[in-house]
Amino acid sequence: MAVIKVMDELLANKIAAGEVVERCASVVKELVENSIDAKSTEIKVFLEDAGTREIKVVDNGKGMDATDAVLAFSRHATSKIDDEEDLFRLQTLGFRGEALASIASVSKVELKTCQEDIGTLVLINGGKLLKVDRGDARVGTSMSVSELFYNTPARLKHMKSLYTELSSITDYMNKLALSKPNIRFLLSNNDNIILRTDGSGNLLKVIQSIYGNNVARKMIRIENENADYVISGYISLPEIHRSSRNNMVTIVNGRIVRNYEINKAINEAYHSYKPDNRYPITVINIEVDPSVIDVNIHPTKMDIKFSKMDSLIDLISKTVTSAITGRTLLVEGVKKEEKPKYENMMLNLERHGSSVKEPEEIELPLDTLVTNDFEEIESDIKEREEYEKTKEELMPEMWPVGLVHGTYIVAQNEKGMYLIDEHAAKERCNYERFMKQMGSPTLASTALLFPIMIELSNEEFIILKENLDILRNLKFKIEEFGINSVIVKEHPAWIPSSNVDWDIRKIIETVINTQKEFSIEKFNEKVATMMSCKHAIRANTNITLDDMEALIEDLRKCKNPFNCPHGRPTTIFYSNYDLEKLFKRTGFDLKK
């Protein structure tokens, strides 16, 4: 007796929904992407209780006729591709034909759409078609999804909190707005506006609407290309960073994607300009021939494969490195006040009682979308870029006047006041000196009066034996000495005479710990970072004015005088205006 059966379509759709519809944000993603593919220039997303009660997406796209409006909810029904070859030249965000069928199988759906002045209304409940009728003749499509997972109790039980669901949707809509700055987006929850953009095509203006004025003011425009890829977008100055990679947005041919290798390349380009556990804000658009990539990896379509990944990583790495290297990166001691943004004001999940218009009728006057500060932001960025082209030195000349708590040097010049962390500054000077000496092919060595014998575990000894040439090339004279032991008789001259034993043991430890995928560049960097910190001035150490002058002069000669090797700032700058503002002297006669 046969036991294998073909599942009915409703059951298959519910199973597919487990992959396609993970949460409320998945529904928003699929519906909004359909609106984009329908050539919409304005898309509004209205949520009730973070989408758990209702999600409504309204657009002004090309709409559908009655036949397509019904067929769209059939599994594997799509207008985006016709044959297998189309998979290799995709120009649309959607193409799999699974989303609407999956969504409709686990919710209640109301579709209103119009084409050629003929409106259509479609009602579906749990995947069952209830009604098809004439509807309003309004431009575009309105799709309402309510009571998500009402017929799958297990999925409903494991829904996250309202704040988590709203955060996920907001995050996706923010990224979508960044990928499509030419579309006007509105996102609201319980009639409270969270995000809206003006669709002007200005990416920096979208960045401002999401991250605020201070971040927008600190962005750098990038553009570059090679034989395979064209990249463009914005990256933040190193002083602007976040605790997660989530703000590193990658867009490929208009599609938001996730890619660990790209994020890693961007983050490594910022190395030593920011703390290792912090990440920059970046929006990078990648244009590539569709045949070079494969987006048909996962139902969410956010994972992507590149056939020429090395070429892309090299282009991104060089572009980002070039954009931040050689800039004046002084951290300002006084930040400009930030005006409240929609995302900070409107996350109230308790529905207010005042009456509102129907969602389709809400107007978005252009004058309310343009922030008054945007012209000032553009002016600040232009002024900064002009200065970068004409400046003669990275860090200006300054003169020390004192020391606070044996840790912070106070210096000044005609522009204002500088606070310099003496430990971080000395770390940077040491780091660049060690890196230069370690990269020199003509290293000198120093004999040890008393050779250092180091005992290792059997595993460590085997690893070290395989990498002894690394140490010998650095001018270490090191030999095997008994069972699982080595003896060091000479060391490179760049190792300071103080704490030689500690330095040598740490360098050998670094060789052992980096034996997998060993890179001499990364090894040199790790050793230089470790030693620069060990041999820097300790906090609470009083030094003379002459020592301060010498340290500042050494710092000014560095390739990156603004950060220690760990990414902490060496110097904070207070302009004369900032000082006057702090002491409420602006607008007063300063001679008084």
- Per residue in 293-334, pLDDT (tens digit) is 776 555 555 667 778 889 999 999 999 999 999 898 988 887
| pLDDT band of 5, cuts 50, 70, 90 | low
Most confident of 37-46, 250-259, 340-349, 351-360: 37-46
Nearest to 497 by CA among 541, 543, 450: 450
Q: Residue 203: inside a domain, yes or no?
A: no
| pLDDT band of 240, cuts 50, 70, 90 | very high
DSSP state at residue 133: E
- pLDDT at res. 270: 94
DSSP state at residue 482: S
Q: Residue 80: inside a domain, yes or no?
A: yes
- pLDDT at res. 367: 40
Tell me the one-letter amino acid at 144. Answer: S
**Is residue 169 scored above 60 in pLDDT?**
yes
Contact predicate 40/183, CB 8 Å? yes
Q: H/E element holding 257?
A: strand 255-257
Q: Residue 412: inside a domain, yes or no?
A: no
Say if residue 221 is in the same domain as residue 321. yes
Q: Residue 120: inside a domain, yes or no?
A: yes
Look up the CATH number of the domain holding residue 503.
3.30.1370.100
pLDDT tens across 186-198, in order?
A: 999 998 999 999 9
Give the chain's mean pLDDT.
Answer: 82
Instruction: Mean pLDDT check: name the lowest of 148-152, 354-358, 376-380.
Output: 354-358
**Is residue 345 scored above 70 in pLDDT?**
no
Three-state DSSP state, 113: strand
Most confident of 72-81, 106-115, 512-521: 106-115
Percent of residues, the chain, with pLDDT higher than 70 = 81
Nearest to 75 by CA among 55, 120, 109, 105: 105
**CA–CA gap between residue 87 and residue 514 (Å, rounded):** 42
**CA–CA gap between residue 536 and residue 542 (Å, rounded):** 13
Render 180-235 in DSSP notation, one character per residue: -TTSEEEEEETTEEEEE---SS-HHHHHHHHH-HHHHHTEEEEEEE-SSEEEEEEE
Of 485, 509, 534, which residue constitutes the final position of a domain?
534
Q: Which residues on neighbouring strands pair with residue 135, listed in sequence order?
A: 119
Q: Residue 94: inside a domain, yes or no?
A: yes
For the segment 496-508, the average pLDDT, to the nearest whole number, is: 86
Q: Tell me the HSE value of 136 on the side-chain side, using a 13 A CA sphere.
A: 8
**156 lies in which domain range?**
9-196
Three-state DSSP state, 169: helix
Provide the pairing of β-strand 571-575 with 331-332.
parallel
Q: Residue 579: inside a domain, yes or no?
A: no
Q: Residue 312: inside a domain, yes or no?
A: yes
Say if residue 150 is in the same domain as residue 180. yes
Please report where in the chains the tokens 């030593």 appear, as a residue.
Answer: 272
Q: How many domains does the chain have?
A: 3
Say if residue 28 is in the same domain as residue 97. yes
Say if residue 168 is in the same domain as residue 221. no
Say if residue 166 is in the same domain as residue 228. no
| pLDDT band of 267, cuts 50, 70, 90 | very high
pTM of the entire structure?
Answer: 0.79
Look up the CATH number of the domain holding residue 43.
3.30.565.10
Say if residue 133 is exposed, middle or buried (CB neighbours under 10 Å; 0-12, 13-18, 19+).
exposed
Q: 8-34 b/e with 16+ CB inside 10 Å = b?
A: eeeeebbebbeebbebbbbbbbbbbbb
Say if residue 185 is in the same domain as residue 221. no
Say if residue 171 is in the same domain as residue 232. no
pLDDT tens across 59-105, in order?
A: 999 888 888 888 888 765 555 444 444 444 545 554 445 678 888 88
Say if residue 179 is in the same domain as residue 233. no
- pLDDT at res. 417: 96
- pLDDT at res. 139: 87
Nearest to 220 by CA among 204, 208, 231, 209: 204
Contacts of residue 81, Cβ cutoff 8 Å, sequence gap at least 6: 87, 90, 95
Q: Residue 277: inside a domain, yes or no?
A: yes
pLDDT tens across 118-129, in order?
A: 889 999 998 888
Look up the CATH number of the domain holding residue 265.
3.30.230.10
Tell me the one-letter amino acid at 250. Answer: T
Q: Tell me the HSE value of 536 on the side-chain side, using a 13 A CA sphere.
A: 28
Contact predicate 508/470, CB 8 Å? no
> What torsion do the CA atoms of 575, 576, 580, 583 make, to the nearest 10 degrees?
60
- pLDDT at res. 350: 45
Say if residue 76 is in the same domain as residue 174. yes
Higher pLDDT, 589 or 134: 134
User: Distance from first CA to last CA of the chain, Å, rounded?
Assistant: 103
Most confident of 136-150, 269-283, 326-340, 521-535: 269-283
Say if residue 133 is in the same domain as residue 36. yes
Instruction: Mean pLDDT check: name the lowest of 355-359, 410-414, 452-456.
Output: 355-359
Contact predicate 158/22, CB 8 Å? no
**CA–CA gap between residue 588 and residue 395 (Å, rounded):** 31
Render 364-378 in DSSP notation, one character per residue: --HHHHS-TTHHHHH
Say if residue 167 is in the same domain as residue 305. no
Say if residue 422 is exposed, middle or buried (CB neighbours under 10 Å; 0-12, 13-18, 19+).
buried
- pLDDT at res. 44: 95
- pLDDT at res. 354: 36
Say if residue 157 is in the same domain as residue 69. yes
Token output for 522? 């990364």
From the CA atom positions of the chain, what is the Rg in Å? 30
For the segment 135-162, the average pLDDT, to the nearest whole number, is: 80
- pLDDT at res. 563: 94
